[in-house]
Amino acid sequence: MANLIRHDPLDDLFRGFFVRPVEFAQDTEAPSIKLDVKEAAENFTVHAELPGVKKEDIHVHIDGPIVSIAAERKEEKEIKEGEKVLRTERYFGKVSRSFQLGTDIDDARAVAKFNDGVLELTLPKKATTQARRLTIN
């Protein structure tokens, strides 16, 4: 008769966890700004995720139909005595993103709000001039 042995994969994980150092893959690529863009008859609404960024470190530039968002997340080092950093995965530095909308934006009426790490832009469309036919004298 064969002997049955119970095998618990978690047992192996925890047995070796404290013996050997844990290695993580290095991700050196800067994160991009995640966007939601919605269009209504009169305007565009943009929601951009910028967690951990202060509103004074966010810059929005509008040039016709092109919108550019730039932000900087500054590192705040606070290491207490006797404390050792084992791993840090949070990104600190500058990120930016530009995108083009279907029509020019009326930058004089554009509004930006920042709350809970989300930048909300309300971008009114510029009034388009109707094409007209010229009469020749």
The CB density around residue 45, as the number of other CB atoms within 10 Å, is 13
18-71 residue pLDDT tens: 544 555 555 556 678 999 999 999 999 999 999 889 999 999 999 999 999 999
**Of residues 92, 91, 107, 97, the one with CA closest to residue 48:** 97
pTM to 2 decimal places? 0.67
pLDDT at 9: 61
- Measured distance CA(116)–CA(75) in Å, rounded: 19
68-87 residue pLDDT tens: 999 998 877 777 788 887 77
All domains of the chain, ordered by start, with CATH?
31-76+92-126 (2.60.40.790)
112-120: average pLDDT? 95
Residue 111 in this model has a pLDDT that exceeds 70: yes
